[in-house]
Structure 1
Amino acid sequence: MATAGVAAAATAVATATAAFGNVSLYVGDLEENVNESQLYDLFSQVAQVVSVRVCRDQNKRSSLGYAYVNYANPQDAANAKEILNFTPLNGKPIRIMYSHRDPSIRRSGYANVFIKNLDVSIDNKALQDTFAAFGNVLSCKVALDSTGQSKGYGFVQFENEEAAQNAIQRLNGMLLNDKQVYVGLFVRRQERAHKSVSPKFTNVYVNNLSEMTTDEDLKKVFGRYGTITSAIVVKDSNGKSRCFGFVNFQIADSAAAAVEKLNGTTNGDKVWYVGRAQKRSEREAELKTKFEQERISRYEKLRAANLYLKNLDDSVNDEKLKELFSEFGTITSCKVMLDPNGVSKGSGFVAFSLPEEATRALNEMNGKMIGRKPLYVAVAQRKDERKARLQAHFAQIRAPGAMSPLPSGIPGYHPGPPRLGPQQLYYGQGTPGLMPPQPAGYSFQQQIYPGMRPGGPNFIMPYQIQRQGQPVRPMGGVRRSGNPQQMQQSQGLRYLNNARNGIDPSVVSMMPMSFDASGMPVTPIESPRPGPVPISTLTSALASASPADRTRMLGEQLYPLVESVEPVHVSKVTGMLLEMDQTEVLHLIESPEALKTKVAEAMAVLQEVAARSDVNDKLGSLALNE
């Protein structure tokens, strides 16, 4: 049905062209610098040109290598095609054919003939002159390489299928310039790629030949199995044998018999490989698949025996690493990762011969102090596996802009825009009983907004610091009139609106405004954030702390570091990083580069979750509308 439809369309186009003529010409194979002026001057020599347009890239404005020339009547267009086809322009012959607005016929390959094994002396004009005897030729082209030399094959498209079949029958297997050519119907690349490899073949590849083997030797050996059309030993530019060649049989059965009998045979001191000749792309795809399978098989076999190490001390090299882990079993490979300057990246790999040995090393060495750093040890994972694990681990985290629950018992987390989560505290204020030490003489006054109940969803626990025995300084010295309760309520609403609108409340004010007895607003004094703790002190404190206290202590140190890298989603990212192993978190606190890398990974996960959430919301909306 599809073939019949294409044939009908071609007949309709041919009929329309014959009845009304075609005044538009397609000019292809243009040299990149050819412009409209040159084409106009050339085609005006035949008749008056109506319009000329060189097709160009929309962004770079460079020529796409083809143009359109329009005449006033069909006869002028026919004369220009006949006279100017294959005329050199800027040293490159142009190719002219009638322009058809419907590209379906050209793309379908209707009446298109493929010719290969052409002599290099045959050009476009010679090919057209040869095939014009069988019918009206719409297009004719010999494929050229980057230097302008023939690749040995070409294409001829006829006006109808009958002319194409006639050319195939008459010319296939004939000699053109003393070379036997193949002529057959053109098959599109997509169709060739989807076709399975035929078990029948005539071309045989021979490898591992002796340097002394000649074409005649191949013909003599392979001639026993059938008629040979060609046999060649491939040579380099100096005429030296490259030790492989090709033998083409006339019959596929003869080629199959030669492969079966000769593959693996010994000739002199060489063992021949004889098999079906493959295209380079096909061979590369086959080898790629084979190597990938071997790599996966090897990885699965040694999966549990390969360990990943991080937070290595700068003094550790390959020899030191092997010495540290050799007591647990036989080490098959050991490597410390280095940057381009040869400096340790602080990570590496150790592979054991048995998974049991790796497990023992992991249990003994993970968290052990090597030099001045606690070592992190884990089973090595491929990048795609690690990414999938992280995505699955954080799949329940909502998209950016929505607040996820924070780990309980961790002070110092800012809810971030656009809305406040339940019972959120500002960084540095802490929770009751966990406040950082304050100077003597300061008292804390808890502020509760009107309409809020302690423990409610919008309950906030800010603190105002006021030196005892001194009056509170009014803000800017301006007295405001009005009900103090209404002003306090208005201030609280403004505070919450800022949070809902995506404005960081900590930037506007660290705490809501409070008022003195006369109704004057007072300037809040921010609680100081706890400073960084030396890593050695922190490690010692963690060793004697409970699990909850460890998380709190790590959170207090990690939060300001994450905030300097990612201030918008700092609470989410910090919570994600605290899910990691303690030694990894310590490494992040100590290494700014490692922290940036992990923050970037966490943000990538959040963005993927957000994108997936947006898609689900849209699908749900469509489902509701339907």
Structure 2
Amino acid sequence: MAAIEAVAALSFPRLSSLTCQISISTPLFSQNFSISPLIRAQKNLGFKLYSTVQELSVESETEKIQKPNVKRKLFVLNLPRDYTDADIKHIFAQYGNVKDVEVIKEKDGKSRNFWFVTMASGEEAQAAVDSLNSHEVSGRIIKVEFARRFKRRSPASTQPMVPSPEPRHKLYVSNLNWKVRSSHLREIFSAFNPVSARVVFGTPSGQSAGYGFVSFATKEEAEAAFSALHGKELMDRPLRLKLSEKKADENTEQKEPGGEIREA
């Protein structure tokens, strides 16, 4: 046996070194396969990124679905004063799901004869407008239209605003006939309980500047007046209404050349 091993060593002098090389190269070869965890990690990372994108996409779609329709709130005028929220809900429920009924009341709790009704969707609100506007209910012709909402501008200055001791919601009324006086403004807005109604006069001679301001104690009253009277004619001219910014009002009242605001 020893003789055979000696012969083999003489015949294949590099066999032992070859065997050694194989034993060394084997771990190197095995290390090539260790790349697979990196590949798996990259795949996992890619999957996580893809999942994140999917989640963001789903959230974005959900936000779109849940975004409220700004044209769901209706302004309702001239229903019988003794109608309850349940009565009004019953009328509008014929056209969809009624989410809210809001009655505007006097200080003594009595209805001012106008309401805000919010439907579940814009389509249902439109159906209610199409069917009920100018419709007769209990002998009254009612008015139903989309409520107009005010969007206040962001203040240009970052300085803190001093709270007003008597906060009011003011409408700017333009396109007035030159003959219109403050008493006329107060009369046409009387159903909405104005705090004040004044016409601006451009010169001391008494000629109207063609615009004025009407103030209300609450935002709801101002919105109701806006919805009911914007475009309504006063002395053969349609009223043009918009929410009046307090700062702009002060500048107008103070800087109008020769102008004054007064009751007339």
Measured against the shorter chain, the TM-score band is 0.3 to 0.5
Instruction: Between the two structures, name the one with larger relative contact order (CA 8 Å, sep ≥ 6).
Output: 2
TM (norm. structure 2) is: 0.38
